[in-house]
Amino acid sequence: MRLRRLVAAIVLSALPFAYPLFHLDLVGGPLPGTAGVVGLLGALAMWWQVLLGARQVSGWFSADRGRIVTAHAWLGASGAFLVLLHPLLELIADRHGPAYLVLLDFTWVESTYTSLGRLALLMFVLLWLSSTLLRAVTRHRLWQRVHYLSYPLVGLVFLHAYGIGTFLAELPWLRAYWLALAAAFAGVAGWRLAAPLRARRYRLAGAERVAGGVTVYSLRGSGVRPLPGQFCHLRTAAMERSHPFSVVRARDGELVFAVKDAGPFTARLRALPVGATVLVDGPYGTFTREAQLGGRPPVLVAGGIGVTPFVELAVRRQDAVLFHATRHPMDLHRHLGPRYRPAHPGGERLTAARITRDAPGDAAYFVCGGPGFVAGMVAELRAHGVPADRLFSERFEW
C-alpha cells in the first residue's frame, strides 16, 4: 500500500510541468517548448531516482527494498530517455551542430549555465553506461562510487534549469516550485551526509573466528530492533563508507553478525579489539516477511554466507527447512536438528532436484547468496516447477 503512495507522489510531483504544454507560445513554439518540458521531466525523474537511492528516504515509502530498487531502475530508464532527448531537441530547435552538446564555454552568464547542463549530461552518460552496458564488468564498489556522481549531477541540473529554463523565467510559480524541489534535494543530501551522526553506537562484545573465513561478531547496545531476515549497515568510523550485513540474531540488546572475509572493511572489523565502538544503521529489508507472515512452510536455500538472513527465522519457525550450499557447515544442528541440511562435505553440489524432493509440496522458497548462486538456483527451481509467486530471492554484493 505504501508503494502506491510513492507512485501517487511521483505523478503529483510531475503535474506542475504539464501546465507549460498548453502554453508553448511562451517560449517560441512547440519544439522549444517541448524541449523545455522534456528537460524538466527528465530532471524530476533523476530527482526521484536519487532520493529513492537514499535508504533513509526510501524507507518512508516502503520497507521493501526490492520494490524500491525496481522503482529506482524504472525511473533511471525513463529519466535516461528524457535527459538524452532534451539536448537533442534543443540542438534541433536552435539549429546547432553536434559540438553544441559537448562544447564548454564559461565566458558569459548564459553560456556558463548552458555548460553546466553539458557537464551534467556527460556525468549522466557515465552513470548510465556504468549501470547498463558496463555493469557486468564493473565491480560493485566502483559502480557505487560512480553513482555518487548523481548528487553533483542533479545539483548541476537545478542550476542549469534555473539559469536557462525559459518556462521557469516566464512562470514565477513554476520557478518557486523548482526552487522548492532544489531545497528538498539539498535537505536529503544533507540528511544522508549526516547519517553517521544518527547511527547507533554499539560495543563489540566478542568476535569468534569460525570455518570458511567467517567471523561471528557480537555487539551490545540499544535502539536497533531488527526482525528475522533484516540487515543493518555497519561502520567502524563515522567518515567511512557503511557496509550491509544480515543480522543472525537479535535478543536482549545483542546483535550478532556472521561476516565473511571480503576486502578492506572486513579486515578492519577483524582488527577491532573487544570494547571498540561499531556504528549501526538500520534495520532494513523485508526479504523474509512472507516467511514470517505466510502460512506456507518456508524452504530456505542459502549459498555460503547467504545463510545469515535465515538463521533466526529457521530457529523461530519449526516448519522451516534450511538448505545450505557450503563447504564449511555452520554449527546449526544443535538448534535445528535435521532441519539444517548443508551440502555434503564431499563437495556434492546442492541441487534444485534435491531441494524440491525433500520440500513440502506447498512450500514457499527463499534463496539468498551471491549473484551467481541466486541466479542459477532460481532458474533451477523454476525449471523444477516452483511457481513464481512462491519463489523469493535476495543476492549479496561484496
What are the extents of the domains in the chain?
2-193, 197-284, 289-395
Enter the DSSP assignment of 134.
T
Compute the distance between CA of residue 6 and CA of residue 52 in angstroms, rounded to an integer: 10
Please name the residue that has the C-alpha cell 562484545: 205
- Tell me the helices (H) and strands (E) count for the chain, helix number first: 16, 11
All three cell numbers of 177, joined, read 516550485
SS3 330: coil
317 sits in the region (left: phi over 0; alpha: psi -120 to 50; else beta) called beta
Q: Among 101, 111, 106, which Cα is nearest to 163's? A: 111
The verdict on pTM exceeding 0.75 is: no
Question: Nearest to residue 305, comparing CAs of 349, 232, 245, 369?
Answer: 369
Architecture of domain 289-395: 3-Layer(aba) Sandwich (3.40)
pLDDT tens series, the chain, 398 aa: 466 788 888 999 999 998 888 887 777 778 888 888 898 999 999 899 888 877 767 767 766 666 777 788 788 778 888 888 998 888 888 888 888 888 888 988 888 999 998 998 888 888 888 877 777 777 777 777 788 888 898 899 999 989 887 788 889 999 999 999 999 999 888 888 887 788 899 999 998 888 778 888 999 998 888 877 788 889 988 888 888 888 888 888 899 998 888 788 888 999 999 999 999 988 887 777 766 666 788 899 988 888 888 888 888 888 888 888 887 777 777 778 888 888 765 555 788 888 888 787 788 898 988 888 888 899 999 988 888 888 888 877 65
pLDDT at position 334? 75
State how far the Cα of 90 lies from the Cα of 86, in Å rounded to an integer: 6
Give the end-to-end CA distance of the chain in Å, rounded to a whole number: 32
Per-residue confidence (pLDDT) for residue 1, from 0 to 100 = 46
The DSSP line for 314-328 is: HHH-TT-EEEEE-SS
Distance CA 68, CA 9 (A): 14
Which amino acid does the sequence have at 287? F
In angstroms, the CA 135 to CA 257 distance is: 29
User: Does domain 2-193 bear CATH number 1.20.120?
Assistant: yes
Give the per-residue pLDDT at 6. Answer: 82
- Asked: is 197-284 a CATH 3.40.50.300 domain? The reply is no
**Per-residue cell: 206:** 566478542
CA distance 89 to 31: 7
Asked, as a colleague might, if the bond just before 387 is cis with ω within 30 of 0, I would say: no
> What is the predicted pLDDT for the residue at 293?
66
9's CB contacts (< 8 A; 6+ apart) are: 61
